[in-house]
Structure 1
Amino acid sequence: MTAGSLLQTFTVYLGLLAVFPTCIHASPLVQRDLTADQIAAQALTNAYKVLNGTLSDGMTRPATGCSKDKLQIRKEYGDLSKAEQSEYIRAVKCILNKPSKLDNTKYPGAKSRYDDFVVVHMNMTPSVHGTANFMHWHRYYIWAYETALKTECDFKGTQPYWNWGKYQDLTTSPIFNGDEWSLGGNGEYVKHNGGFVGRQIPAGPGGGCVKTGPFANLTIHLGPLSSTIDPALGVKSNPRRDGYGDNPRCLRRDVNNYFVTQFLRPVDIASHITTSTSILTFQDTLQNDTPQKAALHSGGHFSIWGDPGGDVYVSPAEPAFWLHHGQLDRHWWMWANYLEDQVKARTQMYEGGTSWMAPNSAKGKPTDKQWLSVVAPTGMEGVQSKEMFSTTAGPFCYVYQ
């Protein structure tokens, strides 16, 4: 498949995949008037009940498994102390400077251990987007990244997330304001025409290279493979059609408020959770734009946009990817845990196909194995999907605050 056909496929995915609609059914048990903060609070209360043994989510927890004394707490980036933000940045810079474990002939663009994670995502993209394991594999992937920061770079914290509804001006948020505790600032302003990703997206105040903050002048090596930014910005093509060649260039961003002010508001987050009564509805509406509304998943990515942030294959090369997908995992966690009488049923739900490129692909099974290749923590390659059902079972032991 050529880069051009990949881009066309990605655009169709974001804008037109809604031709496979799923119905959203109301349930008398769903509390529609809750705010996003209230949903998160109820989810945390119920997660503690599960660990205390007063509520069952249907998962088996051996004596050596997750317990409250082992529990890790993931926090919103803006709620971290300056010291915690600095520690996270230090660990990310550390993984960026460690050598790759991949075959340099097969993946010449993989220069660092961080790039290993990008390659794995590039390889897995067709089977982990628009499929039964979209949420599950990305939970596994984020956890593997967090684990690498801990075991390979002595990281003392937990993977932070970006609460989509928290900042109406992303450019001044603690994530993108460009100070020493941020993930770097916006790209330098370059006049451009925005783009079309299922809808016309207006140009934001960036578009150029990131020149401020801890990740100023970061070099991107892999991709692009399915770029969605204005071609007039002149991002050079990868020397290989598969995107794995070495293509050194700057990190570009066009951090904008188009999505956060219209589609990623707290009311949008709450509404998506309270109107989705099955995992299939939840994950499909989370990913698929409609002509009227941008989905939360794509809205988060394109609030950062740029290169590589706007490329579905190479997007993990953008350091803010991990905060966005941390929130995506939190969003699923909130949905699964906030209704006490549905915790067990929702935790066990697993629906959808196995190939993004084939709408009629075989259905996913809870026993399907998930793969991380060289970024899998020791002994944790090929873990079954059902081990990803809960953040406090299987290999996991964390909740969101």
Structure 2
Amino acid sequence: MAGNAILSAFVASLCLSSGASAWPFAKRQTLSYADIQKQALANANKVLDGTLSDGMTRTTCNKNNVAVRKEYGDMTKDERLEYIRAVKCIRSKPSKLPAGKYPGAKTRYDDFVVVHMNMTPSVHSTANFMHWHRYYIWAYETALQTECEYKGTQPYWNWGKYSDLTVSPIFNGDEWSMGGNGDYVKHSGGMMGIPAGPGGGCVTKGPFGNLTVSLGPLMSTMDTSLKIPSNPSRDGYGNNPRCLRRDVNNYYMTRSLTMSNLANHITSNKAIGVFQSSLQNDSPTMPAIHSSGHFSIWGDPGGDVYVSPGEPTFWLHHGQLDRHWWMWQNYVEAEVKTRTSQYEGGTNWMNPNSAPGKATDAQWLDVVAPAGKNGIPSNQIFSTTAGPFCYIYQ
């Protein structure tokens, strides 16, 4: 599909459409985001000890072996250093993709970017959105553990925790961070009103300073005056070495990513279809949560829907997206079973009339799937403690 057509579809369908699914604020919620987390964790533990059913069959996952994912800022400095080491490790290993098929895929990390590029049309604004990304994040976590001897779990970024994201433990640029903001470069904002932040240039500070990315861009949302090199191939798979750019900003911190708004989003949506669409689509008065997280980091490749996993903090953002869904699934004890198995939507976000997704549809990860775990059906991804998964959130 031509670039303009893809861009139009992206704007209309993925996360920037206005009015496709307005946020339902029919009633005020009284639970805080922290309260929802506590209730979700309590109910998840009941599921694990057998006193509450989520309708799923589990064979090996239990309270004694369940892994616990933590917020990045709540990890100890040693835990953060170990995670950073593992990410650097996976970036140093060679690609497992067919030689020459994707010239920009140089490393094992790049394999994950290519898979996301290939899957983008079927895993955004579809029934697969939350489910496939849960599967994808778990595969990345598993690769860190099995290929780089990482002993921890995939951390997440709690969106509403930091009033100033630029000085948070994630982006402050110290040795325990995921690197600093991009160096300041004068620039304008991006598409659909994304404001210019205090960065815009190459990341030069912290563990991921001076990082080179090679895939994309395919659908950049950055100011064109920055002259980010175009990919030599129209499909974005060509080898295009350039610096990692960020424009970490607080614009969305006081809007869609506040704790009260996140709590409202969970308590105002009882069906997965509305939950997913309101998570991805702007309303007339509120930016979408999903895109707000991406555009709070922005940059290249972080602001490009296809190649955004090339940004090392993509995994923290989508870890939180999975946590947000996990909280929604588990916080109402009487509805845990119903919410866990809900599955709604089409199968291609560029085609609003695409076939509806089925719970038995296979989900694909190609070369990044853990051994024997490619093409598993969606209904094995419903619960974080069933199917191939065994984790909860702290």
Question: Equivalences for 1:305-324 in 2 at 5 Å?
Answer: 305-324=298-317
**Which residue of 199, 207, 211 corresponds with 1:214?**
207
Q: Which moved more, 1:283-292 or 1:317-326?
A: 283-292
1:193 equivalent to 2:188? Answer yes
Separation in 1, partners of 2:389, 2:16: 35
Separation in 1, partners of 2:224, 2:284: 23
Secondary structure in 1 aligned to 2:127?
Answer: coil
Equivalent in the alignment of 1:224: 217
Separation in 2, partners of 1:49, 1:95: 36
Deviation per CA, 1:138-197: give whole Å up to 9, x if none: 000000000000000000100000000000100000000000000000000000111122
Question: Equivalences for 1:275-354 in 2 at 5 Å?
Answer: 275-354=268-347
Aligned length: 394
Contact 1:189 1:206 in 2 (8 A): yes
Contact 1:184 1:214 in 2 (8 A): yes
Equivalent in the alignment of 1:45: 42
When residues 168 and 22 of structure 1 are mapped into structure 2, their CA distance, relative to the original with a 3 A threshold, is closer
Question: Equivalences for 1:244-283 in 2 at 5 Å?
Answer: 244-283=237-276
Contact 1:352 1:364 in 2 (8 A): yes
Contact 1:163 1:327 in 2 (8 A): yes
% same residue? 68
Aligned AA for 1:146?
A: E
Offset at residue 3 of structure 1 (A): 2.9
Secondary structure in 1 aligned to 2:68?
Answer: strand
Contact 2:363 2:376 in 1 (8 A): yes
Equivalent in the alignment of 1:68: 63
Deviation per CA, 1:269-304: give whole Å up to 9, x if none: 100000001000000000011232111100000000
Aligned AA for 2:5?
A: S
Equivalent in the alignment of 2:30: 33
TM-score normalised according to structure 1 size: 0.96
Offset at residue 245 of structure 1 (A): 0.2
Secondary structure in 1 aligned to 2:161?
Answer: coil
**Which residue of 103, 112, 116 corresponds with 1:121?**
116
When residues 102 and 353 of structure 1 are mapped into structure 2, their CA distance, relative to the original with a 3 A threshold, is same
**Which residue of 368, 371, 377 corresponds with 2:370?**
377
User: How well do the aligned residues superpose, as a CA RMSD in angstroms?
Assistant: 1.4
Equivalent in the alignment of 1:12: 12
Aligned AA for 2:361?
A: D
Secondary structure in 2 aligned to 1:17?
Answer: coil
Equivalent in the alignment of 1:159: 154
Separation in 2, partners of 1:379, 1:335: 30
Separation in 2, partners of 1:15, 1:57: 30
When residues 22 and 176 of structure 1 are mapped into structure 2, their CA distance, relative to the original with a 3 A threshold, is closer
Offset at residue 16 of structure 1 (A): 5.7
Contact 2:329 2:340 in 1 (8 A): yes
Separation in 1, partners of 2:357, 2:97: 29
Secondary structure in 1 aligned to 2:115?
Answer: helix
Equivalent in the alignment of 1:100: 95
Aligned AA for 1:48?
A: N
Deviation per CA, 1:182-240: give whole Å up to 9, x if none: 0000000000111122xx12210000000000000110000000100110111011000
Separation in 2, partners of 1:23, 1:248: 40
Separation in 1, partners of 2:323, 2:174: 26
- Stretches of structure 1 lacking an aligned partner (at least 5 in a row): none
Offset at residue 336 of structure 1 (A): 0.4
Equivalent in the alignment of 1:21: 21
Separation in 1, partners of 2:142, 2:322: 16
**Which residue of 136, 139, 146 corresponds with 2:134?**
139
Separation in 2, partners of 1:181, 1:201: 29
Offset at residue 88 of structure 1 (A): 0.1
Separation in 2, partners of 1:19, 1:181: 41
Separation in 1, partners of 2:39, 2:325: 13
Contact 1:104 1:110 in 2 (8 A): no
Deviation per CA, 1:115-143: give whole Å up to 9, x if none: 00000000000000000010000000000
When residues 79 and 364 of structure 1 are mapped into structure 2, their CA distance, relative to the original with a 3 A threshold, is same
When residues 59 and 15 of structure 1 are mapped into structure 2, their CA distance, relative to the original with a 3 A threshold, is closer
Offset at residue 106 of structure 1 (A): 1.2
Offset at residue 13 of structure 1 (A): 3.0
Aligned AA for 2:57?
A: T
Contact 1:10 1:226 in 2 (8 A): no
Aligned AA for 1:144?
A: A
Secondary structure in 1 aligned to 2:345?
Answer: coil
Equivalent in the alignment of 1:178: 173
Contact 1:32 1:274 in 2 (8 A): yes
Separation in 1, partners of 2:355, 2:18: 20
Contact 1:7 1:228 in 2 (8 A): no
Secondary structure in 1 aligned to 2:225?
Answer: helix
Separation in 2, partners of 1:120, 1:23: 31
Offset at residue 22 of structure 1 (A): 6.6
Offset at residue 6 of structure 1 (A): 2.3
Aligned AA for 1:268?
A: N
